[in-house]
Structure 1
Amino acid sequence: MDILTTLAAIAIDLTADMKAEDRYDRLLTALHRAIPYDAATLLQVEQDRLVPIAARGLTPDAMGRTYRRQEHPRLDVICSAEEPVLFSRDSPLPDPFDGMLADDPGGLHPIHACLGCPLYLNDRLIGILTADALDAGAFDHLPQHYLKTVSAIAAAQMHLASLLTALEEKAERQGLIVSDLMQDRSLQSGSEIIGRSEAIAHLRREIELCAKSDFTILIQGETGVGKELVARAIHLHSRRRDQAMLYLNCAALPESLAESELFGHVKGAFTGATQDRSGKFELAHEGTLFLDEIGELSLPVQAKILRTIQNGEVQRIGSAKTSRVDVRLLAATNRDLAAEVGAGRFRLDLYHRLNVYPVRVPPLRERKEDIPLLAGHFIDRARRKLGLGEVRITPEALRLLTRYSWPGNVRELENIIARAVLKASQRDARSQHLVQIAPAHLAGDIGSAMYVQPAELPSTKRSGTSQLSLREEVRLYQIKLIEDALTRHNGNWAAAARDLQMNRSNLHHLATRLGIRHKQLTGVAADTLQPES
């Protein structure tokens, strides 16, 4: 170990011109020369939460989670310390990264060595650095003064990266100071778009570009892709972010109420109008109005929206008076509005007014590399709602998630993950170990659905190499799931069906279709594999 070389490499990176994420990765890489960790994580402090901003040696879903101090006593100890902390081998405090090491994804070898360094800037805690190793004595030889020096340099790196990012955003967003940007980030917790794929990177660039203007934006995308999140992100990056953004789901409005909701009414305008009422356009004055599923509105209401966009005026039902409004309009739809115009169900002039800057939200099947991050995020959310401890997902289950075509997109993934967490928690209710999501917990939702909605094959040129189609790969994977369940239960079909969360008769039908009836399994007699008549 060359401590001076390591410190020199970190110090040199302080003066290098690079992106924040590259700076963090270089820091962890340099530290590995001197600290023999199996996994290391750099976490940023946000009030009572710790948000991972860089990691090495952890499973992909770790970066999609947040860690609350009150839920992770080891992290809380590190945050409360003034110097680096080396936990004893027999510490009773659970390690937050047990079961998440890339070299040990199943958690068969609990983490034995755990080191934590609080990162301070001017006596203010800005983050922590953690290092974990399977070797119980991996960190015993590290001098305390060296760890304190590493902590100081790491804090400087984090501070420099956050400053550079803030300065870039300051130039783009009309001179806001760094503290305002940090406050904005906490306010944006409900509009976070999770993903690192190129499709999401492109979407973020589109959001940042169109947010600077006051253009009307048409957000297009399939059901469940997160169009409302995009609308909130546009608003929170715009000059109107200090004002309200109002939301209206046009699909949920009866036609008789749509006009009143949008433009308001005066007392006595119709039966039930007992007092004057402002509409959404008036309430959103100087802010943003988001009309979700705008394609569901009737033609007469579309005509009034068009007049408001053109003239900046609204007229309440039953009133002869008009009022001026200054509203940024965002609209979303899962329909093809151009086709709706051709069919006479949507006004051509309104379509052109809305389509000033179209933003397309990609479906989940076009950004499958984001599924591990999304899975980690939704697992974290579900386990908190259920009051569970740590929940992990096996690599096999993650691979199964990436094989599905996700017709319901991110919303469908969230629902399936929530059900899987619930199923896994019931199975492990009496266990003291980590709750693990296995393929069996997804089989009821995805296993049969994959026959109906298999993922599309990529359009690649044919080569001389014979490749299995995705449908055949899915078939082989289903065979493996059933065979493994039967092996675990010594050929007992009823027990295997319970293991796979399936009805027994449905399992028999699926097995017959897959050709398992006469298949011989190692250690299980062939006659035990015959589904009972």
Structure 2
Amino acid sequence: MTAKPLLTALLPLVADLSRDLPESERYRRLLQTLRALLPCDAAALLRLDGEWLVPLAVDGLSLDTLGRRFKVSEHPRFEALLSGPGPTRFPSNCELPDPYDGLVDGLTEHLEVHDCMGCPLFVDERPWGLLTLDALDPKRFEPIDLDDLQAFASLAGATVNVVQRIERLALRVEDEQQRAELYRQANGSPNKELIGQSKVHKRLLEEIALVGGSDLTVLITGETGVGKELVANAIHAASPRADKPMISLNCAALPDTLVESELFGHVRGAFTGATQDRRGKFELANGGTLFLDEVGELSLTVQAKLLRVLQSGQLQRLGSDLEHQVDVRLIAATNRDLAEEVRSGRYRADFYHRLSVYPLNVPALRERGRDVLLLSGFFLEQNRSRMGLGSLRLSPDAQAALVHYPWPGNVRELEHLIGRSALKALGNCTTRPRILTLTAADLDLPTTTRAAAVEAPEQVPHATGDLRLATENYQRQIIRACLERHQHNWASAARELGLDRANLGRMAKRLGLK
């Protein structure tokens, strides 16, 4: 490519550097220009995060690619690209597996990438990530001058630098890397980030960033399996206490007699089996964050003792009169409607108001649209690595099934479904494939959607005789079934039924359900 066409192609991106654009739009334009400049079937921009490559933008690859996290050591082509100072084009007969095999958008066949090249990106002279280009034609990139890709990579690096400065990430890079490394060491997996692009998910991220910088007590609500613990981790990571410990306790996992000891600690001889002094979760979290999961399960007695600690910052270990002063930021989570629990007398009003200084609701997966495909990509890549496959992908009918399923178990259900389906699909193969495609049949999801369930419930009363009574019986059955699905969480049931929670409560009272 001559200098003039190259300059013409790059000029719009140069102009973009001075414009106020969202990060996703800036990266989208970057890849569109790359594909126009260097024709290919797919392009991707990936950020290096420790030992993982995180896709920030893709063009020509399936949407679930954005949810995948590629471990560099498991992908030799990525390793080769990162190890070089400049662009690399792999021979068309290269035997190294390609991480994008089977992921080129719009293809239903098991086609593999046959021509591949890429270039490392550097920001402030440090490795930042990769630009990759892939083609199904084995000779597509032969006429391309690698200097053109290097020139583009330099501009891409400048684009990334602009984004980082806008977001003020440059001042926090070392600290974030240290926290990410500690998290990876503790979990043996990539940082458990909150993946999604839907409007409700972006609003959640905005609220996390807003409340994270404060010291307010946060009450995270949402259905079972939506990822409330991940949200708590994100709030802690965004707080000034991020370099201090975050200590967690599942309040439903322990009986009342042990909850107090776990929270406040005990001294030797405080009870049978207390053979030595022990610090509780509050003292362990001093200076940091304490996360109380399933806080709706706490007894009224424990609520009263917790209230005192939250008000004064002072606690006593079981069996001791000595006061300990603690400085702890509290984050709590529940799938219960605590306001309703207060009204029914099962929860202390003063403790509830102390917890819900900043209430934060995590949306259900069925409210997040195509985020289910990004999350699927994350779980697909995990299982691909675990099962030693070259590629694990979804067929178009599987993607459609995932998008239309109502997900009563939310993200946790999706994670288990992907793992189970991949294992079963592999077991059904007569020979071990390099590329394994999960179909809708492999997922084996119920075909009855939420809408169909409402339109055709199981035992619809036959409307004979008194129409009003038949209608009320019909409403009772729908409400009871919905409450069962949501473990009697009235707020969640109201969302599924498309009603205001207060209206649902009044209707249930009229129908004799409360």
Aligned residues of 1:195 and 1:373 also touching (Cα < 8 A): yes
Tell me, yes or no, if structure 1 residue 98 matches structure 2 residue 101. Answer: yes
Tell me how far 1:457 sits from its aligned partner: 7.4
* Structure 1 match to 2:203: 202
Is 1:294 paired with 2:311?
no
Partners of 2:72 and 2:274 lie apart in 1 by 51
Q: 1:183 to 1:316 in 2, by over 3 A?
A: closer
The answer to whether structure 1 residue 85 and structure 2 residue 88 are counterparts is yes
Residue type at the aligned position of 1:354: L
Q: Does 1:147 align with 2:149?
A: yes
Q: Secondary structure at the match of 2:272?
A: coil
* Higher deviation after alignment, 205-214 or 133-142: 133-142
In the alignment, which residue of structure 1 is the partner of 2:477? none
> What is the DSSP-based 3-state SS (H/G/I as helix, E as strand, rest coil) of the residue aligned with 1:368?
coil
Measured at CA, do residues 263 and 123 of structure 1 come closer, stay the same or move farther in structure 2, by a change above 3 Å?
A: closer
Q: Tell me how far 1:121 sits from its aligned partner.
A: 4.2
Task: Identify the residue that residue 187 of structure 2 maps to in structure 1.
Answer: none
* Offset of residue 56 of structure 1: 0.3
Partner of residue 396, structure 2: 395
Pick which of 82-91 and 224-233 moved more.
Answer: 82-91
Give the drift of 1:32: 2.1
Task: Output the TM-score relative to the length of structure 1.
Answer: 0.80
Q: 2:114 aligns with which of 103, 112, 115?
A: 112
SS at match of 1:326: coil
Partner of 2:379: 378
- SS at structure 2 position matched to 1:335: coil
The range that moved more, 391-400 or 267-276, is 267-276
How far off is 1:315 after superposition?
A: 1.1
How far does the alpha carbon of each residue in 1:111-159 deviate from its partner, in whole angstroms, 9 at most, with x for none?
A: 2221212223465322211111223332222223222212222222223
Question: Residue in 1 aligned with 2:483?
Answer: none
Q: 1:64 aligns to what?
A: 67
Question: 8 Å contact 1:208–1:237 — kept in the other structure?
Answer: yes
Partner of 2:240: 239
1:403-440 deviation digits (Å, cap 9, x = unpaired): 21111111011111110111122123614441111111
Q: Which one-letter code corresponds to 1:90 in the other structure? A: N
Q: Tell me, what secondary structure is at the counterpart of 2:46?
A: strand
Give the whole-Å Cα distance in 1 for the aligned partners of 2:93 and 2:56.
29
Which residue of the partner structure matches residue 357 of structure 2?
Answer: 356
Q: Which residue of 2 aligns with 1:455?
A: 450
**d(CA) in 1 for partners of 2:71, 2:192:** 19
Superposed structure 1 runs of 4+ greater than 6 Å apart: none
**Which deviates further from its counterpart, 383-392 or 278-287?**
383-392
* Correspondence 1:54 to 2:57: yes
Give the match for residue 229 of structure 1: 230
SS in 1 for 2:241: coil
- Could you tell me how far apart the structure 2 residues matched to 1:284 and 1:110 are? 50
After TM superposition, the structure 1 = structure 2 runs for residues 150-169 of structure 1, keeping only pairs within 5 Å, are: 150-165=152-167, 167=168
CA apart distance, 1:362: 0.7
> 2:490 maps to what in 1?
none
Structure-1 separation of matches of 2:388 and 2:99 = 16
8 Å Cα contact 1:306-1:350 kept in structure 2: yes
Q: Give distance in 2, aligned partners of 1:387 and 1:23.
A: 35
Q: Is the 8 A contact 1:127 1:155 kept in 2?
A: no
Offset, 1:184: 4.2
Moved more, 348-357 or 425-434: 425-434
**What is the rounded CA distance, in whole Å, between the counterparts of 2:378 and 2:6 in structure 1?**
37
How does 1:497-516 map onto structure 2 within 5 Å?
none
Aligned-pair identity in percent equals 48
Contact 1:191 1:233 in 2 (8 A): no
Q: Is the 8 A contact 2:50 2:177 kept in 1?
A: no
Q: Which amino acid aligns with 1:142?
A: I
1:274 aligns with 2:275: yes
**CA offset digits 1:500-531 (Å, max 9, x no partner):** xxxxxxxxxxxxxxxxxxxxxxxxxxxxxxxx
Q: Which residue number in structure 1 is paired with residue 407 of structure 2?
A: 406
Deviation at residue 380 of structure 1 after TM alignment: 1.3
Q: Identify which of 3, 6, 22 aligns with 1:3.
A: 6
Alignment-mate amino acid for residue 330 of structure 2: L
CA offset at residue 186 of structure 1? Answer: 4.9
8 Å Cα contact 1:20/1:162 also seen in 2:
no
Q: Aligned in 2, Cα 1:158/1:291: closer, same or farther, shift over 3 Å? A: same
Tell me, what secondary structure is at the counterpart of 1:8? helix
Task: Give the secondary structure class of the aligned counterpart of 1:275.
Answer: coil
Q: 1:414 is paired with a residue of what secondary structure?
A: helix
Name the CA distance, whole Å, in 2 between partners of 1:122 and 1:276: 51
Which one of the candidate residues 169, 173, 180 is aligned to 2:175?
180
- Judge conservation of contact 1:455–1:470 (CA < 8 Å) in 2: no
Give unmatched runs, 5+ long, in structure 1.
171-175, 460-468, 472-533
Asked if 1:125 corresponds to 2:127, the answer is yes
Shift of 1:97: 1.0
* Corresponding residue for residue 264 of structure 2: 263
Shift, 1:239, TM fit: 1.0
Give the number of the structure with larger relative contact order, counting CA–CA contacts within 8 Å between residues 6 or more apart.
Answer: 2
Determine the C-alpha separation between the residues in 1 that align with 2:164 and 2:177.
9
* 1:200–1:187 distance in 2 versus 1, CA, 3 Å: farther
- Residue 496 of structure 1 corresponds to none
Decide whether the 8 Å contact of 1:110 with 1:134 is kept in 2: yes
**C-alpha distance in 1 between matches for 2:208 and 2:429:** 43
Following the alignment from structure 2 to structure 1, what is the Cα–Cα distance between the partners of residues 360 and 249? 19
Contact 2:42 2:135 in 1 (8 A): yes
What's 2:26 paired with? 23
Cα 1:361–1:121 shift into 2, 3 Å: closer
Superposed CA offset, 1:263-289 (max 9, x none): 111111221111111111122111111
Letter in 1 for 2:241: R
Structure 1 residue 76, shift from structure 2 partner: 1.7
TM-score by length of structure 2 reads 0.82
Contact 1:246-1:289 at 8 Å conserved across structures: yes
Q: Distance in 1 between matches of 2:122 and 2:295?
A: 49
1:464-484 per-position Cα deviation (integer Å, ceiling 9, x unaligned): xxxxx899xxxxxxxxxxxxx
Q: Which residue of 1 aligns with 2:461?
A: none
Cα distance per residue 1:32-71 (max 9 Å; x no partner) = 2221111100111223322111110110111111222222
Give structure 2 stretches of 5+ with no counterpart: 184-189, 458-514
Q: Deviations over 1:292-332 (max 9, x none)?
A: 11111111111100111111110111112211111111111
Indicate conservation of the 8 Å contact 2:50/2:181, yes or no.
no
The equivalent of 1:320 in structure 2 is 321
* Deviation of 1:402 (Å): 1.5
Q: Give the CA RMSD over aligned residues.
A: 2.2
3-state SS in 1 of match to 2:420: helix
SS in 2 for 1:329: strand
| Number of residue pairs aligned between Structure 1 and Structure 2 | 448
The residue matched to 1:33 in structure 2 has which SS?
A: helix
